[in-house]
Structure 1
């Protein structure tokens, strides 16, 4: 096995004993959820209660990888790619270009593909280019495939403070085609000078992060916010050198020194699409939901434990509105948190809250729980609903 891949002792799952490492195709993989039709390959190639009424469904740890920030951007992901089938990924590239990306976007991006590096900041440009070269796909297609996940996803994020002032952060990432995505979900430790600079959870080939942690500084998750005319606005903003939303998460994990500076960056830097950023810190009251427009913040919603608001829940809808009845994950999460109680919130109970249906649902790809003050406790589980 390449040195860049770690398959050492895994961390402990709630209610489970220590288990051996889980590889993308081996171990105790959960049973697949029903396969959809429209977005199967889009994400695959992105290169391109308190306690549940019943026990939580099976969960398995994803592959744990090291990516060296000391290596040139074009080379960083190559050791990881070698452990996946390149023909499988190339076939996925072709399918997403045909089925997921609007035809007019191809016409805009492909003619200027050679110039795209002028619009993309490093290290993202180099990392995408390196993976595209390794798989034999064009840079233009690699960029479009990295955009695909930015366009739509349903997620639940929770930031909470216990009665001792400890901050916990959890999230479910929901998308179609769980059986496919579960095979390419990876935990990544980004290493600089022999130390973990930051870490996160992503899909192989996707250079952004929707879930991540800067050790002993802060945690971040991102949830999609519907804004309409997504592709038109996103491509225009990208060509204006705005950040993709997941790239800003990774850039913030890399550069921000603490919770406050992370909030300022995530709230203020122009991005290509609307989003919710959920941020947790290391000190009491350091929790925030940032509702973003493309140009700046629409709302800042902090924890207020002294006022009784010891948690915040975000589920893809503005918190000052009522979620639609066909997708009311918010109410279920709030009920589970209230039943758990502030004095009982911890990693295990937060996982159980995220396992209550419909917070956990047929499209939940993975669950992550984390606390920046306890970075070694960062844990992701690939999920399934029976």
Structure 2
């Protein structure tokens, strides 16, 4: 049998097995848990799980600005990269994987300033090839799942929270009953203060070696979280167009969000940019502002958008809050991954009179909103500038979802 055919068959079989496991576990979950028990006492979280904070000095050259953090954490970054590399090789086969990595070298060189330069700097200080740092930085487009919530209290204050879940079927650790990639990302999770001329421009929760933005707040302006959206015209299509047709008129999602955090003047400016910029991949942008009614979900495909604002939802009982997972809000969530229903239920049970970061944290701590793939929870308020993140661990019984 031709080796390429064999490897393709091998990949197909592995993905089929993963899908079967996924469905079986989900069905078990449905049978064993008809009603969701809302968490009410998770907040305040234990300070021992508080994510550490580091400074990124934007006045330094892109080659140097990540050096202190990467040098401190490079051994942990190596562990993650080694594990992901082994997994990807087992799925794709060494020959195909090697071809992919060679293409990533050429892809990296096409990334816009300052991201290519930052990736080269990170590669140098971590003693890793630029290709694997590039792979790490496009990782989001394939494997990330999330839950984001924006809520408004009776006084018009806006609160924003999110869970970031990742490690989708990436190495099950039978002994510890955890997803390996999720566990390896825990020690690489950091809060970053991006500074320029001695002032904090914005704050973000991220992973060491990752230059894009998934979760952030600009004090006095807006908060942002980014959730993956599944679509036939997805990230792979945009990636192929970028590489094969040199279509560089589209924006990398997490690079665009970083530009927005650095350059957008306010909530409305951020909303306009995130709604109308052509993207490489579909996505959900979730924004919170500083004024009553400033909260929205921007559902994006690569060229168009749908907008849902606070106080404009069809369900009047939920008009003071918005919940976004990884599925279009106008469609029913899939039975095998319904984090939306318990999140909505627990927000309604909590009530608008109790809207706060505490309520959001409790909802994000309710299973299966909290699950074994949850890396961190972040709570934000653009109005007050509050920005705190905690590492999350889901005690058994806790399914992957």
* TM-score (normalised: structure 1): 0.80
Q: 2:105: which partner in 1? A: 113
The answer on 1:347 being equivalent to 2:357 is yes
Classify 1:385/1:112 alpha carbon distance in 2 versus 1 (closer, same or farther; 3 Å): closer
The answer on 1:100 being equivalent to 2:64 is no
User: 1-side partners of 2:152 and 2:312: how far apart?
Assistant: 7
What are the ranges of 5 or more consecutive residues in structure 2 without an aligned counterpart?
A: 1-17, 19-35, 168-178, 396-401
Deviation for aligned residue 1:138: 2.5
The answer on 1:383 being equivalent to 2:371 is no
Deviation for aligned residue 1:253: 0.5
The answer on 1:226 being equivalent to 2:230 is yes
2:149 alignment partner, SS class? strand
Classify 1:109/1:165 alpha carbon distance in 2 versus 1 (closer, same or farther; 3 Å): same
Q: 2:50: which partner in 1? A: 61
Deviation for aligned residue 1:182: 1.0
Q: 1:300: which partner in 2? A: 307
User: 1-side partners of 2:107 and 2:312: how far apart?
Assistant: 49
Q: 1:321: which partner in 2? A: 331
User: Whose helix proportion is higher, 1 or 2?
Assistant: 2
What are the ranges of 5 or more consecutive residues in structure 1 without an aligned counterpart?
A: 1-37, 39-48
1:374 alignment partner, SS class? coil
Q: 2:170: which partner in 1? A: none
Q: 2:129: which partner in 1? A: 138
User: 1-side partners of 2:281 and 2:135: how far apart?
Assistant: 15
Q: 2:39: which partner in 1? A: 52
Q: Is the 8 A contact 1:73 1:123 kept in 2?
A: yes
User: 2-side partners of 1:106 and 1:147: how far apart?
Assistant: 17
Residues 142-173 of structure 1 deviation map (CA, whole Å, 9 limit, x = unaligned): 21221112212111001111111111111011
User: 1-side partners of 2:88 and 2:301: how far apart?
Assistant: 24
Q: 1:10: which partner in 2? A: none
Deviation for aligned residue 1:99: 3.2
Deviation for aligned residue 1:236: 2.2
Residues 207-232 of structure 1 deviation map (CA, whole Å, 9 limit, x = unaligned): 11110011110011011111247563
Q: 2:199: which partner in 1? A: 195
Classify 1:237/1:262 alpha carbon distance in 2 versus 1 (closer, same or farther; 3 Å): farther
5 Å matches for 1:1-386? Answer: 52=39, 55=42, 60-86=49-75, 88-90=76-78, 92-100=80-88, 107=99, 110=102, 113=105, 116-117=108-109, 119-176=110-167, 177=179, 178-228=182-232, 230=234, 232-239=236-243, 240-241=247-248, 242-297=250-305, 299-304=306-311, 309-375=319-385, 377-386=386-395
Q: Is the 8 A contact 1:51 1:349 kept in 2?
A: no
* TM-score (normalised: structure 2): 0.77
Q: How many residues get paired? A: 335
- Aligned alpha-carbon RMSD (Å): 2.5
Classify 1:302/1:73 alpha carbon distance in 2 versus 1 (closer, same or farther; 3 Å): same
User: 1-side partners of 2:37 and 2:219: how far apart?
Assistant: 27
Q: Is the 8 A contact 2:42 2:361 kept in 1?
A: no
2:187 alignment partner, SS class? coil
User: 2-side partners of 1:287 and 1:256: how far apart?
Assistant: 16
Q: Is the 8 A contact 1:161 1:305 kept in 2?
A: no
